[in-house]
Amino acid sequence: MVVKRVGRLTGLQRDVLSLYRSCLRAIRKKPPESKRNFLIFARRQFEQHIDISKSDFTTIEYLLRKGHHQLETYSNDGVRNIAV
């Protein structure tokens, strides 16, 4: 996948990328047999909302809060796998 960047990123775009990178870092700490499931889940969550307008701040902020909450939940050591 090739990502083209045009100009500087907005604050919300940086927040979304930061959340995605945090998800990837959290996935590294999961057991090897379940890393793929967590990666698929995280990718689907972001791809599901890829068509949201950059100017839809309310929705983006809501999804960021939801994403941070999910990250906190799934980062727990007790969560060993996830259904995809």
Quick one: pLDDT at residue 7? 78
DSSP code per residue over 33-63: TTHHHHHHHHHHHHHHTTTS-TT-HHHHHHH
pLDDT at 3 over 80: no
**Ramachandran category for residue 44: left, alpha or beta (phi over 0 → left; psi -120 to 50 → alpha):** alpha
Give the global pTM. 0.84
Angstrom distance (rounded) from CA 69 to CA 5: 28
